[in-house]
Amino acid sequence: MARKKKKMRIKPQPPIDKWGHPSGTRSWWVAAMLVIIGIALAGFATTRKHDIFNDGKVVLSEGQLIQAVTVGGPRKPPPPPPPKSELDLAIQQFLGDQADALTDQGPQDAKKSGETTPNDFCPT
C-alpha cells in the first residue's frame, strides 16, 4: 500500500539580510534622511519669495501665498474697461445713475437666488 504522504506546511520565514537581521527590520538612517530633507525643504520654503505676476508688484512669502490661496487665490485685477464711445456716454448721461444701479444689481440678485459656482466651496 502506498503510504499516504503527510503534507508538510513550511512555516514562512523572513529572509535574513546581510547584517543578519530578518528582512522586516530597517535602519534608522533612511527615515532620518527623509525627516532631514523634509525639514530642510520646509525651512527653505519659508525663506523664498514669490513674484506672483512677474511684475514686482505682488511679492509674497510662501506662507503668505498659501494664506492667499486659502481665501480665494491671488487674482490679477481685471483690466480696465475700454473707453466708452460717445453714444455710450450719451446714454449714460441720459439714464443718469440708474444705469449703474441696474448693472450693479445683477450679480447680487444671482447670489440671493442661491446660484452657486463650484469654487464657492473650495476657494480657488
Partner 1 sequence: MRAMAESSKPNIPRRRLNLGKLRPWVQTAFLAVWLDPLLLRWHSVPGCVFHCYACPLATVACPIGLMSQFAAMHMWPLMILGVLITVGGIFGTAVCGWACPFGFFQDLLGKIPTPKYSIPSWLGYGRFVTLIGLVLLIPFFFGDEHPLFFCNVCPAGALEAALGQSIYRGQLFIPNTIKLIVTGVVLFLAFFTYRPWCRIFCPLGGIFAIFNRFSLLYLHYNAPKCTECNLCRSRCKYDVKLDQSINNASCIRCMECTNCPAITLTVAGKTPKTPEANPPQPVPGK
Residues within the interface to partner 1 (CB under 8 A) = 9, 11-14, 21-22, 24-35, 37-46, 48, 50, 62-67, 69-71, 73, 114, 116-124
Q: How far, rounded to the nearest angstrom, does the alpha carbon of residue 12 sit from its chain's CA centroid? A: 45
| Shortest distance, position 84 Cβ to partner 1, whole Å | 29
Cβ proximity to partner 1: between 25 and 98 the closer is: 25
Residue 4 CB neighbour total at 10 angstroms: 6
CA gap 95, 93 in Å, rounded: 6
The grid cell for 16 is 535574513
CA gap 99, 108 in Å, rounded: 15
Cβ proximity to partner 1: between 79 and 118 the closer is: 118
| Shortest distance, position 49 Cβ to partner 1, whole Å | 12
Q: Cβ contacts of residue 60 below 8 Å, gap of 6+?
A: 49, 50, 52, 68, 74
| Shortest distance, position 40 Cβ to partner 1, whole Å | 7
Cβ proximity to partner 1: between 53 and 90 the closer is: 53
| Shortest distance, position 1 Cβ to partner 1, whole Å | 31
